[in-house]
């Protein structure tokens, strides 16, 4: 028996700066009609910048949803659905950290919250870094620091880093390039 889900409608509830919130009406395989929340996201890019000493460049910033500061890899939303994620990753690296990368390589792609959101983040490895000046948005307050892979791994397993893109990126980098 084929399990078939059929979207009967998608109604916009609220339009935001970063996301749009919809309520979907879905017919599930047994014929019942249910309401599901759906968050539409324009997509994002992130970057794991690694300096010549093998340290990862991280950003510390306040996150309103958690009401605290978090330690993360540099990242940001796409300027539009058609913007190449590689371009967005280079832009965010420069804006948030001031660094520029000679090489950008796709490390992995993640879907952050598949139960109700379509957000996709392409995460790049940035090497051949040269230092420059931050170009922050007027609402951004970002501190930059360099950490060893061991320090970041410890912070992940101690629960100090919980941001999903950062956890995935650091552990993927460790698996692929770590010693």
Q: What are the residue numbers of the active site?
A: 138
Which residue in 136, 121, 145 sits closest to 51, CA to CA?
145
User: Is residue 130 within 8 Å of residue 37, measured between CB atoms?
Assistant: no
User: Is residue 132 within 8 Å of residue 94, measured between CB atoms?
Assistant: yes
* Tokens, residue 164: 């999903």
CB atoms within 10 A of CB 144: 17
Please return the burial class of 74, using the count of CB atoms within 10 Å of its CB with bins 0-12, 13-18 and 19+: buried
Q: Which helix (H) or strand (E) is 172 found in, with range?
A: helix 164-177
Q: Which residue has the tokens 């796709």?
A: 106
Angle formed at CA 116 by CA 139 and CA 21, multiple of 5 degrees: 55
3-state secondary structure of 94: helix
């Amino acid at each position: 028996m084929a399990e078939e889900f059929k979207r009967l409608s998608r109604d916009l509830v609220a339009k935001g700066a970063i996301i749009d919130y919809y309520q979907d009406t879905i017919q599930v395989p047994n014929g019942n009609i249910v309401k599901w929340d759906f968050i539409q996201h324009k997509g994002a890019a992130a970057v794991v910048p690694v300096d010549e000493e093998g340290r990862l460049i991280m950003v510390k910033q306040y996150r309103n949803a958690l009401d605290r500061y978090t330690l993360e890899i540099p990242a940001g939303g796409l300027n539009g659905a058609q913007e190449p994620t590689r371009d967005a990753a280079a832009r965010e690296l420069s804006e948030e950290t001031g660094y520029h990368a000679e090489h950008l390589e796709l490390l992995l792609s993640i879907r952050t919250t598949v139960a109700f959101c379509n957000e996709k983040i392409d995460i790049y490895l940035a090497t051949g870094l040269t230092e420059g000046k931050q170009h922050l948005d007027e609402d951004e307050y970002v501190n930059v620091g360099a950490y060893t892979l061991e320090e970041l791994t410890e912070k992940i397993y101690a629960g100090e880093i919980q941001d999903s893109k950062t956890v995935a990126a650091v552990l993927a980098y460790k698996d692929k390039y770590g010693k």
